[in-house]
Structure 1
Amino acid sequence: MFQNPSNEAIASILKNAKTIAVVGLSDDPSRESYAVSAEMQRRGYKIIPVNPNVQEVLGERAVASLADLPEPVDIVNIFRRSEALPDVVREAVNTSAPVIWAQQGIYNEEAADIARAHGKTMVMDRCIMVMHSLFVRGA
């Protein structure tokens, strides 16, 4: 049964990360992926949009897939439905990112097993912005 890392581990992940690849980042400001990523960008993180349907989001050039990342990343943050998570994680385990993060409401045991089998830390069903507010900004 999957368990998220401890609050201390999540705080450490967020304090040490600098670059976040965001799978499913929309260029529509009304979408949660846009709002959360914009706020994380304001908080000092470099955001790399991963979405084959957009050219640029938040002033950053988008890439079509995780295989196209132009530089190493610290976190792959995922805004996709739970049933899409295993396929996204299969791509994410081939990146430099030690952490794969599925946003609030996104949870899939198979995806967690894939991440674990590849030595990656998995966070699921947690909003990265809320966790940052609680454990980094509030610290």
Structure 2
Amino acid sequence: MQNPSREEIKKVLDESKTIAVVGLSPNPSRTSYMVSEAMQKAGYRIIPVNPQADEVLGEKSYASLAEVPEPVDIVNVFRRSEFLPELAEAYLETDAPVFWTQLNVVDEEVFKKLTEAGRTVIMDRCIKVEHAILK
């Protein structure tokens, strides 16, 4: 598994505007909330994907990626690695060009499958940290 270069990741962050966050918790003490809040404050539109929540960070939450009614630039995943094969299938049904997983969320087979499908995949990296380093 080889993540894109820092230059490529910077380009992704520069060109992206909308991030669907799978597993975004409505609990402000959870990492997914803190990272998404920081990205929202940095100017990105955050779309929560969490069947347990109605709204997070002032945005309507959707039960699945399939229910998100607008184009998304990045699908950012805050779920455990064992959920990645199922999430990858749902992701391939979208037009989102980038599939991004947070720290310690890795699946080599999913990485291979999505890159072979022509998608950009970034795994095991915190989007907030990358944004802070590259902006």
What's the TM-score once normalised by structure 1's chain length?
0.95
Q: Could you list the runs of 5+ residues in structure 1 that have no partner in the other structure?
A: none
Identity %: 55
> Partner of 1:28: helix, strand, or coil?
coil
In the alignment, which residue of structure 1 is the partner of 2:53?
54
- Contact 1:52 1:64 (C-alpha < 8 Å) held by counterparts: yes
What's the TM-score once normalised by structure 2's chain length?
0.98
Q: What one-letter code is carried by the residue in structure 2 that aligns with 1:100?
A: F
Q: What one-letter code is carried by the residue in structure 2 that aligns with 1:98?
A: P
Equivalent positions of 1:63-102 (< 5 A) are 63-102=62-101
Following the alignment from structure 1 to structure 2, what is the Cα–Cα distance between the partners of residues 55 and 14? 27
Asked if 1:9 is matched to 2:47, the reply is no
Q: CA deviation at 1:112?
A: 0.6
- Contact 1:86 1:114 (C-alpha < 8 Å) held by counterparts: no
Following the alignment from structure 1 to structure 2, what is the Cα–Cα distance between the partners of residues 117 and 96? 15
Q: CA deviation at 1:70?
A: 1.2
In the alignment, which residue of structure 2 is the partner of 1:125?
124
In the alignment, which residue of structure 2 is the partner of 1:135?
134
In the alignment, which residue of structure 1 is the partner of 2:21?
22
Cα distance per residue 1:34-87 (max 9 Å; x no partner): 000000000000000001110000000000000001100000000000111111
Q: What one-letter code is carried by the residue in structure 1 that aligns with 2:13?
A: L
Q: What one-letter code is carried by the residue in structure 1 that aligns with 2:124?
A: D
What do you get for the CA RMSD once the two structures are aligned? 0.7
> Partner of 2:85: helix, strand, or coil?
helix
Following the alignment from structure 1 to structure 2, what is the Cα–Cα distance between the partners of residues 92 and 57? 21
In the alignment, which residue of structure 2 is the partner of 1:108?
107
Q: What one-letter code is carried by the residue in structure 1 that aligns with 2:134?
A: F
Q: CA deviation at 1:117?
A: 2.8
Following the alignment from structure 2 to structure 1, what is the Cα–Cα distance between the partners of residues 19 and 113? 20
- Contact 1:22 1:79 (C-alpha < 8 Å) held by counterparts: yes
Q: Could you list the runs of 5+ residues in structure 2 that have no partner in the other structure?
A: none
Q: CA deviation at 1:114?
A: 2.1
